[in-house]
Amino acid sequence: MMSKILKYSFVLAVVFPLVFLLGLSLAQQWQFPEVLPQQWTLQHWGNSLFQQGDILKSLFLSLGLSLSLAGTVSVFAFFMSKHIAYSKHRQLYMRFTLVPYILSPVVLAVIFQYYFTVANLSGNFIGVLIAQLFFALPFGIVIFNNFWNEHLKSIEQLSFTLGASSRQSLLKVILPLSKPAIVLCFFQSFLVSWFEYGLTQFIGLGKVKTLTVMVFSFINEANVFYAALACILLILPPIVLLYMNKKILILAR
């Protein structure tokens, strides 16, 4: 009984909005109180993906930005968190990682905007990437924080006494053991970047048009058909990543 309730709740919460958005993106005309669109068309998809290609460009820009951020955060957070975890000042460092959460990303952007303008980082891809790193990197460090513990330290030390160099120990012992944590960090950082709006808009000066920025822009223009189309594209990569994440974690076990 409970599983049935959960299944229907899932359909209502996830599948129904997706079907609704897909219908909206394929509608030429859909007026209240009609249950289904009066006219269907592939024109919005054709325009967005092939003729004007704005949404497609935004999709690739977003993918580039989020994948770059997720990759950078996973690598840096992995090594920085190790340093922090085995440091005498672990507690202090971990408090520092919480600072970006006290301020919202937009407030952070306002604080740092001057420096971004001086460094010629406003309104471009690199600038937005660096700005997102300000809060995504501490987030990654928090994810890895519990991974580094005395048990893992002992395993690493044991590999040294068995003759492994630091590099061999990293590749043959630590990385295989940290796979679930790395996947989690990559996935979470990707999502943080993927759905980020305020800071991207502020530092990007409206020139870095990620898919999330495009969705807001279509909604502001009351262009519901294109907004629905962009929303579907916005949801797809996280679903793919969620599926991959699950597969990798199951394999790791």
Give the residues lining the site for other proteins (CB under 8 A).
Answer: 151, 154-155, 157-165, 168, 172-173, 176-177
70 Cβ contact partners less than 8 Å away, ≥ 6 residues apart: 185, 186, 187, 189, 190, 193
CB of 209 to other proteins, least distance (A): 43
Largest CA distance in the chain: 74
CB of 70 to other proteins, least distance (A): 23
Nearer to other proteins, 85 or 121 (CB): 85
Render the chain in DSSP notation, one character per residue: -HHHHHHHHHIIIIIHHHHHHHHHHTEEE--TT-SS-SEE-SHHHHIIIIIS-HHHHHHHHHHHHHHHHHHHHHHHHHHHHHHHHTSTTHHHHHHHHTHHHHS-HHHHHHHHHHHHHHTT-TTSHHHHHHHHHHHHHHHHHHHHHTTS-HHHHHHHHHHHHTT--HHHHIIIIIHHHHHHHHHHHHHHHHHHHHT--HHHHHHHTTTS--HHHHHHHHHHTT-HHHHHHHHHHHHHHHHHHHHHHHHHHHHH-
Nearer to other proteins, 87 or 120 (CB): 87
Q: How far apart are CA 143 and CA 141, in angstroms?
A: 5
Nearer to other proteins, 109 or 184 (CB): 184
First vs last C-alpha separation in the chain: 30
Nearer to other proteins, 9 or 146 (CB): 146
